[in-house]
Chain A
Amino acid sequence: AVTRRLCILKGIYPHEPKHKKKVNKGSTAPRTFYLLKDIRFLLHEPIVNKFREYKVFVRKLRKAYGKSEWSTVDRLKDNKPTYKLDHIVKERYPTFVDALRDLDDALSMCFLFSTFPRTGKCHVQTIQLCRRLAVEFLNYVIASRSLRKVFLSIKGIYYQAEVLGQPVTWITPYAFAHDHPTDVDYRVMATFTEFYTTLLGFVNFRLYQSLNLVYPPKIDGQADVELKPVEGKEYAMDSESYLEKLSALSGSLAHVVAPTHEDEVEMDEFPVEGETAEQMDARKKEQEALEKHKKLFEGLRFFLNREVPREPLAFVIRCFGGQVSWDRSLCIGATYDESDRSITHQIVDRPRVGQQVVGRYYLQPQWVFDSVNAKLCLPVADYFPGVLLPPHLSPFVTEQEGDYVPPEKLKLLAMQRGENPGDVRLRGRRRRGASGCCPVGNGGLSADEESEEEEEEEEEEEDDNEKEEEEEEEDDESEKEEEMKLKKMEEQKAQSNKALPVKVTAGKLRLEDRQRLEQEQQSEEKRLAIMMMKKREKYLYKKIMFGKKRKVREANKLAAKRKAHDTAAKEEKKKSKKARRA
């Protein structure tokens, strides 16, 4: 068990020997091998002695308990041996960037542990520490505006931030109680968490330092004053409430040095050698896009209803410069009320809204995440409460050539390029939405009717879209045409066979298709060349080609499925329309 802990802490992993048989005394049975060097390295670790001390301590304590020597117990407990993992962190990650690169697992683990119940499974201190570190990290991401991508998966919520140029991805579970599995060794996880908390603490410190923020984080003075009078009475323990206030993610953080605007001097640009003007331009454009992305929600005021997950939404909105608030009874840190007139968006996750206020959009939470991933505020019409949501796509997928691209993604890409296929439609929709959604106390029924109208419109528009799509699918269709031709030929053959065997048919001028001939010749040459390949290369080539073909097959399968689904949906729509008319 000690070895396991050491291996985990020091990051030692088994090694795959080059000659398995040689090492394993001639057998090929699967065994794990460690490098002798690594084991020696573990032995030299000073923490081994600390572990021994701890063992002795536990033994003494047990003895004292057994003899009921309470004074000895107290004395021993006072002198409980502790150990620190600082040097191991430094040793495993000699540079800060190394640590950032390995932050994914640390963050995921800390976020998981911070959702554990405070009883059982592991120490309460660990859970509290994890929660603190996680909140600190979230606050850093907000302060540095480094979040890039968010993805709502069925497993949890994935976030990707760009910290000092390194992409850091982590996953948080949905906020539900865990049913703890029995076949999981929590001791292993706890050991990992022990190391990860140390690592994350140092990383947080350094990150806060890099932004000139106070560590441990403090909420900025003004916000603090605003918060205090209300919350001070209800929360007895200041230290606890402080973490909660922090975790509300609504206040900005205190700086070590008050930020002055002079700091924001434009960086001088030094042209890198060997870089053309075009590349420079591209880089500049990218930079601008990034800046724009960072200020995506700037100036927007959000209000979260109580049924939406507060923490992820607040985090995401704040990361992109939006202001966010929630019901005062939900969590501390609410900055404004639902009745505030300046709210622009209210996030709702119910099929219909009872009381509507003029001048704000009522949207489903997916809008926020989709907008972040699309790097632009998407048209709101698809996300009204009760509307069937468009699919939520993964921002982590970058389609290569030949991969299957879902049509929604194509639309999105077009929108990002700025060519906005349904521009007119959207504008019209927006106007309509404004008129349809804003009137106070608009009854549910009338809203429904209007949405139906919209749907009809949508249908027509979708038809247009499909035409466009069809154009894109022309390549596929050319293949199909060929197939059709072949089929026809076969049919003709069959027919001719059926007819009398002796028959004079009009001669056909055989057209020699130059291109086709050339292609055939080339393919034949290729086939002949493939015959001459060496055995090993042929194997490799066949493997590669097999992989490629499989990929194509999968993409085709997905496309076919989509097509079938679309046609089915269309049919249904038409039917329902007819039924409605009848």
Chain B
Amino acid sequence: LPAPHLLFTPPAPRGAWNGVPHPPLTPLPSAPLQDIRNTVGNIPMEWYQDFPHIGYDLEGKRIYKPIRNKDELDMFLEKMENPDYWRTVQDKMTGADIKLTDEQVDLVHRLQKGQFGDVHFDPYEPAVDFFTHEVMIHPVTNRPADKRSFIPSLIEKEKVSKLVHAIKMGWIKPRKPKDDAPAYYDLWAHEDPNSILGRHKMHVPAPKMKLPGHEESYNPPPEYLPSEEEKLAWEQQEPAERKLNFVPQQYRCLRAVPAYSRFIHERFERCLDLYLCPRQRKMRVNVDPEDLIPKLPKPRDLQPFPTSQALVYRGHSSLVRCLSVSPSGQWLVSGSDDGTVRFWEVSTARCMKTLPVGGVVQSVAWNPNPTICLVAVCVEQSVLLVNPCLGDKLLCGATDQLLESYVAPEEERVQPVQWATPGVEEHSRGIRLAVKQVTWHGKGDYFASVVADNSSRQVLIHQSSKRWSQNPFRRSRGLVQRVLFHPVRPYFFVATQRYVRVYNLLKQELTKKLMTNCKWVSSMAIHPGGDNIICGSYDSKLAWFDLDLSTRPYQLLRHHKKALRSVAFHRHYPLFASGSDDGTVIVCHGMVYNDLLQNPLLVPVKVLKGHALTLDLGVLDVLFHPTQPWVFSSGADGTVRLYT
């Protein structure tokens, strides 16, 4: 049954404002005419919801709501029992229940059906024309016809002429015929691969999008799901840095998979890529990394070279700065920071002699002349010439005699240094200068020393037999790091921080200047042939110079990880070694061919480890045995090691 009270709303009591009672639209036959209609007007009646009254009557007295004490049950009972319940409606204005009459119900039904409210209204009455199309004898108006109805219209003429003019001028185009050709046809019916335009020859087709991996699946294997930390990391990354542009997720079933919110974004980005990104053919390096490794002769074929640690010479209590071997190869001398010089027997590692010199020993050098047994020792500001009295007694005696046979010249020559005779107990000579390095000439008569100050007197060359020193350079050219005599020719090498200068001692001129390409040269050694030099530097590079080739390094070897401290050549074998702060000695095979056309062959053959790092220093000096393929190294841990 339709609930009529939903449709039936009382009309707006517009007239109530004027104090005139509004006549009810549908007269209530049961209610008397002097009505107690509400005077509140057309307002939402729920404003009176919480009041006991529902409005005011004409005299301004409250109209009280009818007392409703029915609860749900009563309502239900009434609904069940009252046969007129369905036609009972509450009047919102008065709050009273009204029973609709049959006519009213009928009206409601008609309105519901969309019919007219009035039963008697006929919407389909025959229409009556006021005017007929026929000409009647009595016209409606008697006005004579206008002149303009007989002559052609000027305005129309103007319009037509405008159109004609526009067509003539081509401003208006006739309607285009419809294009009947099918939209799609066989475009590639006559395809000719040779007709490719020039532009398309170098056309780079767009790369395809990356195909999805397992992690993109709606139900991926569990290992592809990110953990909480990974998710967090993903969120904190920049969108451009992310490896995946989505977070892998797992859904229980296909039904649970939602739409991907960035789908349109991704398509759009692809579009942008297609027309805004420069394309380039990039050659992927598709090399087997093994092929990159140069093919070198096997170290086994390049033997002999030192392979393992044989002896450790212990005794020094501080860093061992320098080493030197006697020309016979039987004795070893080492100078240390603890202020002693120790003489060792090579084959037994026995300390034969300890010579306290009372200062840090910067450098020691054994006289290369086998007939003289003499060691130059740099201690602080002096060079001591020491006769260690080891080995052949005759040799020692001869050396002593040689030194004693010195006869002072008649006239004092101006010398940059003083030569002093020592006391009886010591066989030594001193020079009062701060000395960094001392090196002997091959003949064993001359030796050079380097002084650590920035004057022109950095390098001094001394003649031990005549006890005479000279200063070869008039002007200093930077801090001198190392000096060297050429083994056969009268050349003299001076290494400053970045360059190595080669002087001809006979002609007294500069012959060559080698660029080391290093920041700070630390050490230098010369090949016994005299044509090749190696320079170690503090920026962990080793430069090999071929003097015949160029003034730039033939090869720069970056084998060490830390600063190089010393380098050395073997006198007979094609070997050279470098010691570094990383505690290793690297022995390389450096073959120099007599044929000038063939470049030297450099192959690293062995990395020797043994020295412990102390104070961030590793190996301080390396040295080859004069005859055997053995190498000595002295380290910051106070030991000297022999590798054979």
Determine how close the nearest CB of chain A comes to the CB of B476; give it in whole angstroms: 34
Query: A290 contacts the other chain (Cβ, under 8 Å)?
Result: no
Pair B267/A189 contact, Cβ less than 8 Å: yes
> When the two chains form their complex, are residues B184 and A394 in contact, meaning their CB atoms are under 8 A apart?
no
Is there an interface contact between A153 and B218, defined as CB atoms closer than 8 Å?
A: yes
| A residues 122-169 in Cβ contact with B at 8 Å | 151-156, 158, 169
Complex CA–CA separation, A177 to B263 (angstroms): 12
* A101 to B205 alpha-carbon distance, docked (Å): 9
Those of A1-51 within 8 Å (CB) of chain B: 4, 7-8, 11-16, 32-33, 37-38, 41
Contact between chains at B187 and A89 (CB < 8 Å): yes
Cα A154 to Cα B606 with chains together (Å): 56
- Per the bound structure, the CA–CA distance linking A177 and B261 in Å amounts to 10
B222 x A349 contact (CB < 8 A): no
Contact (Cβ within 8 A) B289 A176:
no
* Cβ–Cβ contact A205 & B184, under 8 A: yes
State the CA gap A153–B215 with chains docked (Å). 9
> What's the tally of chain B residues with a CB closer than 8 Å to chain A?
87
For residue B296, CB closer than 8 A to chain A, the reply is yes
Q: Which residue of B lies closest to A8 (CB)?
A: B275
B278-289: contact bitstring with A at CB < 8 Å (1 yes, 0 no)? 111000010101
A-contact bits for B178-195, CB 8 A (1 contact / 0 none): 000001111110011101
Which residues of B sit under 8 angstroms from A11, Cβ to Cβ?
Answer: 203, 275
Closest chain-B Cβ to A241's Cβ sits at a distance in Å of 21
Would A532 and B249 count as touching, CB distance under 8 A? no
- Which one of A15, A78, A153, A181 contacts B265 once the chains associate, using CB atoms below 8 Å? A181
Docked pose: A562 CA to B227 CA in angstroms: 12
Min distance, Cβ A290 to any Cβ of chain B, angstroms: 20
Residue of B271, B276, B277, B604 with most partner-chain A CB within 10 A: B271
Q: In the bound complex, do residue B191 and residue A94 qualify as a contact, i.e. CB atoms below 8 Å apart?
A: yes
Give the Cβ gap from A462 to chain B, nearest Cβ, in Å. 14
Please give, as numbers and ranges, the residues of chain A lying within 8 Å of B607 by CB-CB distance. Answer: 524, 527-528
Interface presence of B292 (CB below 8 A): yes
Q: B275 and A13: CB pair below 8 A?
A: yes
Q: When A366-B254, A393-B217 are in contact, do A206 and B212 touch as well, CB less than 8 Å? A: no
Please judge, given known A-B contacts A537-B292, A540-B285, A558-B224, whether A392 and B267 are in contact too, CB under 8 Å: no
B contact residues around A392 at 8 Å (CB): 217-220
> Quick check: is A174 within 8 A (CB to CB) of the other chain?
yes
Q: Mark B207-220, 1 if CB is under 8 A from A, else 0.
A: 01101111011111
Q: A520-561 interface mask toward B, CB cutoff 8 Å, 1 = contact, 0 = none?
A: 000011111111110101001100110010000000001101
Write out the residue numbers on chain B whose beta carbons fall within 8 Å of the beta carbon of A202.
184-188
Q: Does B173 sit at the interface, judged by CB under 8 A? A: yes
Does residue A472 face the partner (Cβ distance < 8 Å to B)?
no
The reply to whether A174 and B278 form a contact with Cβ atoms under 8 Å apart is: no
Q: Are A396 and B212 in contact (CB under 8 A)?
A: yes
Check: B274 CB closer than 8 A to any chain A CB: yes
Is B260 in contact with chain A by the CB < 8 A criterion? yes
A464-475: CB near B (< 8 Å → 1, else 0) gives 000000000000
The CA-CA distance from A391 to B223 in the complex, in Å, is: 11
Q: Are B267 and A112 in contact (CB under 8 A)?
A: yes
* A406 is an interface residue with CB less than 8 A from chain B: yes
Chain B residues near A234: list those with CB within 8 A: none
The answer, yes or no, to whether A178 is at the interface (CB within 8 Å) is yes
Q: How far is the CB of B548 from chain A (nearest CB, A)?
A: 23
A577 in contact (CB, < 8 A): no
Cα A531 to Cα B274 in complex, Å, equals 44
Q: Please, which residue of chain A has its CB at the minimum distance from the CB of B256?
A: A349
CB-CB under 8 A from B266, the residues of chain A are 155
Q: Identify A154's interface contact among B188, B246, B264, B271, CB under 8 A.
A: B246
A392–B559 Cα distance when bound, in Å, is: 51
A580: interface (CB < 8 Å): no
Binds B, one of A103-111, A260-268, A314-322, A421-429: A103-111
Q: CB < 8 Å: which of A37, A308, A391, A558 contacts B254? A: A308
> Which of chain B's residues have a CB closer than 8 A to the CB of A201?
183-184
Whether A525 contacts B259 by the Cβ 8 Å rule is: no
Q: Cβ of B258 < 8 Å from any Cβ of A?
A: yes
Chain A residue numbers with a CB within 8 Å of B420 are none
**B602 beta carbon closer than 8 Å to chain A:** yes
Q: Which residue of B187, B586, B605 has the most chain A CB atoms within 10 A of its CB atom?
A: B187
B259 and A393 form a contact (CB under 8 A): no
Residues in A neighbouring B289, C-beta threshold 8 A: 541, 544-545, 548
The residue among B259, B558, B586, B604 with the most chain A CB atoms within 10 A of its own CB is B259
Kindly state whether residue A90 has any CB partner on chain B within 8 Å.
Answer: yes
**Is there contact, CB below 8 Å, between A173 and B175?**
no
By a CB distance below 8 angstroms, the chain B residues around A112 are 263-264, 267
Q: Give A70-95 as 1s and 0s: 1 = Cβ < 8 Å from B's Cβ atoms.
A: 00000100110000001001111111
Residues of B within 8 A of A41 (CB): 199
| A residues near B603, Cβ cutoff 8 Å | 528, 532
CA distance A274 to B261 in the complex (A): 53
A84 to chain B, nearest CB (A): 9
Asked whether, in the complex, the Cβ of B604 is within 8 Å of the Cβ of A528, the reply is yes
Q: Which 6 residue pairs are nearest across A and B when measured between Cβ atoms?
A: A176-B259, A396-B211, A562-B223, A16-B278, A561-B223, A391-B221
| Chain A residues at the B interface, C-beta cutoff of 8 Å | 4, 7-8, 11-16, 32-33, 37-38, 41, 75, 78-79, 86, 89-96, 99, 101-102, 104-105, 108-109, 112, 151-156, 158, 169, 173-174, 176-181, 183-185, 188-189, 192, 201-202, 204-206, 209, 215, 307-309, 349-350, 364-366, 388-389, 391-394, 396-397, 406-408, 524-533, 535, 537, 540-541, 544-545, 548, 558-559, 561-562, 565
Can you list 8 residue pairs at the A/B interface with Cβ under 8 Å? A90-B188, A92-B200, A181-B265, A188-B268, A188-B272, A528-B296, A528-B604, A545-B289
20 additional A-B pairs beyond A94-B197, A389-B219, beta carbons within 8 Å, are A33-B278, A78-B176, A92-B200, A94-B191, A94-B192, A94-B196, A95-B193, A152-B218, A154-B216, A154-B218, A154-B260, A202-B187, A202-B188, A309-B254, A391-B217, A392-B220, A407-B221, A524-B607, A530-B293, A562-B222
